[in-house]
Structure 1
Amino acid sequence: MKVKHLNITENMTISEFITQLDESGVLGAGRIAHATNLLADSMKDPETKIFLSLAGPMVPGGLRKVVRDLVKNGYVDLIISSGANLTHDLVESFGGRHYAGLHEDDESLQDSGIGRIGDIYTKSEDFEVFEEEIHKIFAKINEKYNSISIQKFLYEIGLLIEDDESIIKTAASNNVPIFAPGLIDCMIGLQLWIYCQDHDFTISAVEDMAYLSDFVYNSKNVTACMLGGGLPKHYTLASNILTGGIDAGIQITLDRSEGGSLSGAPLEEAKSWAKAKKGSNLVTVVGDATVLFPLIVAGALDKIK
């Protein structure tokens, strides 16, 4: 079969563009089309639960509203996130922002109270506000609980946030559970450790497993959409070992496979661990998730409208 060359025309829709990628069927174009079609099919199927994992700077990188809208509109059923993305969601909820366009050297940035994530910048003054506000939230939750699971803890945070654009608040409002197995490895975790020095308050990762395992067992089909790799990707896949693995999966990553790391591993490798079922529909898209995921989501939404 000959490769069908792309024909970009004026006023073409995103769905028409994705169809052309699909018809070309090669390289990154074919993978993007595969991912888009898989996501659209999963969104349309009421018996499929969509697990979304977030690693890397997805919130600082501009995907906060994309994720929030997917949750609000019922297209995501469960989130597994790095603690950092949740921290950055709260930074914005408390009035902070993420910034672009600064070009000082890193030592000068430190002197100016600015942290850098690639070409994204944060201000220490925004984190000072975050620290003050998160301790108020800890205290309110601690009035109700001395011990709480990470998932329940994040749910309670969501109930106390007034920002309707927040992923955490929107998830709580729509009963979409958020799991963050590496919560201690972020500013939320650091401030939680500080708070716990003077308060009887325990966060339990083990308590998450009962809820998560029940969720997996009660899901007829699971499609995992994984942005980046790391712990969120592994937790997403490993949780589905209980039922023989995910039924379908999309991975968007810039990591390479040669080093044997999970982050760069092709999803097919998950079959050997029963983290993905035999015959499961899997696609790995190599590239920047902050660019590719919005494109895939836009194409999927256009297909199902």
Structure 2
Amino acid sequence: MDHHNFHGKNIPHIELKPNMKIEDVVEVFAQSGYNGRQLGEAAKLYAKMIDDGATICLTIAGAMTPVGFGGIFKTLIERGFVDWIITTGANVYHEDHFAHKLPVKQGHFDVDDMVLYEKGIVRIRDVYIDFEKTMKAEDKIMQNMFKEKFIDKSFTSAELCNFIGKITKEKAKNPEKSFLASAYKYDVPVYISTIGDSSIAMNLAVHRLRGKEYNFDFVKELLEQAAILYNSKKSGILELGGGVPKNTAQQTGPTLDQILDREDGGQDYIIQITDARPDTGGLSGATLQEGKSWGKVQDAHEDVVTVYADATIAFPILALYAISTQKKRKPKRIFKDLDKFYKKLQSDYLNNKK
């Protein structure tokens, strides 16, 4: 699309009214400029992804569940607006606190961490987690959970998270406060992109020292993720932050095209909410347009939106807009189809190589 002309929409003199709904607020953003406009356009693109029946991946960087956002993820899963997830291990580990009624509290960012350490308080910015009542209690839950599970057999992080969701749903005090439990119920695969960089893996260490081995099959996991894209008519990503979850979802295109010699072209839609700069060369700030050069996205100009904002501010607005304007979708139940998707990709690849 050629933007080198004076044919754009008129910017209105915006008025705010007491009875405005989230749809009206998003329209205000979309009619304005800068990152407000980008947020408005991102919200509308997410609605389009849902309406088009796209297979939607949610990527979650950092630690978003300690601020309660697991409840938003849960709602999107239950409405069929998220079909698979790639996250950090922190989001899985800390989400489990809520399901087991382990305390997580608002604290403060301007503190002396030497004092907090002496008092047994762990800090994530302005969120406080009790070392004994929460962290150690969660560690015991995790260690008991995996004491006899996933030993001496290969597994993916999707299988591991599905098991966590199952146990949480069946045994936690508040299973309704777990997006993992909902992911299990609706067969939404949840992948941990860097499982070794998390308390989940740390809690496997006690069993490893007792001679029990855990064989994480990261190559199968990578192929499963590519197979989800391969078996989807339309596919999109909603990225909260950047990091490894972002690239893990986006590399599905290059896995198919660069490695498996296909010409699929990558994702149809990508929304990125990030506060990272693109000029440092880091992945978190890499533009979606740059991703086109790798074959991560179909089009560098259409159906890609980057919002430069704190995800804790922008994401609830985008999510509420979708919840308010879009009808529930039938769950795709991808977890149950992973083996079928994998075998389809495998068969086509081997047949093409003959």
Aligned to 1:51: 57
Aligned to 2:195: 183
- Which piece of structure 1 moves more, 152-161 or 33-42? 152-161
Q: Secondary structure at the match of 1:164?
A: helix
- Which piece of structure 1 moves more, 229-238 or 211-220? 211-220
TM-score by length of 2: 0.81
Q: Please say if residues 72 and 170 of structure 1, whose CA atoms lie closer than 8 Å, have aligned partners that are also in contact.
A: yes
Q: How does 1:182-221 map to 2 (within 5 A)?
A: 182-198=194-210, 199-221=212-234
Q: Deviations over 1:114-153 (max 9, x none)?
A: 111111111112011111111111024247x633222111
Aligned to 1:301: 323
Picking from 276, 286, 295, the partner of 1:255 is 276
Q: Aligned in 2, Cα 1:7/1:140: closer, same or farther, shift over 3 Å?
A: farther
Picking from 222, 245, 265, the partner of 2:286 is 265
Q: Secondary structure at the match of 1:33?
A: helix
User: Unaligned 5+ residue runs, structure 1?
Assistant: none
Q: Please say if residues 212 and 239 of structure 1, whose CA atoms lie closer than 8 Å, have aligned partners that are also in contact.
A: yes
Q: Secondary structure at the match of 1:6?
A: coil
- Which piece of structure 1 moves more, 145-154 or 180-189? 145-154
Q: Please say if residues 55 and 82 of structure 1, whose CA atoms lie closer than 8 Å, have aligned partners that are also in contact.
A: yes
Aligned to 1:7: 15
* CA deviation after TM superposition for structure 1 residue 2, in Å: 4.1
* Percentage identity across paired residues of the two chains: 29
Q: Does 1:233 align with 2:276?
A: no
Q: Please say if residues 6 and 21 of structure 1, whose CA atoms lie closer than 8 Å, have aligned partners that are also in contact.
A: no
Q: Aligned in 2, Cα 1:140/1:174: closer, same or farther, shift over 3 Å?
A: farther
TM-score by length of 1: 0.94
Alignment partners' CA distance in 1, 2:215 and 2:23: 48
Alignment partners' CA distance in 2, 1:152 and 1:289: 28
User: Unaligned 5+ residue runs, structure 2?
Assistant: 1-8, 170-174, 257-263, 328-354
Q: Secondary structure at the match of 2:69?
A: helix
Alignment partners' CA distance in 1, 2:223 and 2:267: 18
Q: Please say if residues 246 and 280 of structure 1, whose CA atoms lie closer than 8 Å, have aligned partners that are also in contact.
A: no
Q: Secondary structure at the match of 2:239?
A: strand
* CA deviation after TM superposition for structure 1 residue 223, in Å: 1.2
How many aligned positions are there?
Answer: 302
Aligned to 1:292: 314
Select the structure that is richer in strand: 1
Give 1 or 2 for the bigger CA radius of gyration.
Answer: 2
Alignment partners' CA distance in 1, 2:168 and 2:148: 12
**Which residue identity lines up with residue 44 of structure 1 in the other structure?**
D
Q: Please say if residues 238 and 272 of structure 2, whose CA atoms lie closer than 8 Å, have aligned partners that are also in contact.
A: yes
